[in-house]
Amino acid sequence: MYEIDPTRLDLAEEFRRKPYGRHSAELQRVLNRMRTEPFDGHYVLLRDGRFGPYRLGRFGATPADPITPTGHVFQSLREAEWIVFKMRWKRLTGQDLALD
């Protein structure tokens, strides 16, 4: 399985600058790894209605388990995506992402 190199802060910076659209091949590998985590505890963004804020939740152990809200609320999708990226980075590398 692909291992994320925690020293590749350039990839995190690339995502922060451009979270949508085409990415470099190496960043795409990182994103693919992040998005294929085990179901249990996987982060997910939720939204109440079309114009409501984004909320962060986590999946349970099985698809039948309810999504557990974390309490994080975001006003923009861009902000939410960056925070989720940082949380997944920490979960997979064991290191905080020191970029803001």
The total number of structural domains in the chain stands at 1
What is the C-alpha to C-alpha distance for residues 48 and 50, in angstroms, rounded to an integer? 7
Residue 49 banded pLDDT, cuts 50, 70, 90: confident
29 closest CA partner among 14, 44, 51: 14
pTM reported for the whole predicted model = 0.89
Q: What's the pLDDT at 33? A: 95
* Domain around 17: 9-93
How many Å apart are CA 7 and CA 54, to the nearest integer?
30
* Residue 88 counted as domain residue: yes
Give pLDDT tens digits for 52-95: 899 999 999 988 999 999 999 999 999 999 999 999 999 999 99
Q: Is 4 among the domain residues?
A: no
**Number of Cβ within a 10 Å radius of residue 24:** 13
CA distance 9 to 80: 19
- For residue 64, CA distances in Å to 39, 45, 53, 58, 60 come to 11, 17, 25, 13, 8
User: What are the pLDDT digits (tens) for 6-31?
Assistant: 999 999 999 999 999 999 999 999 99
Cα R_g (the chain), whole angstroms = 14
Does residue 1 fall inside a structural domain? no
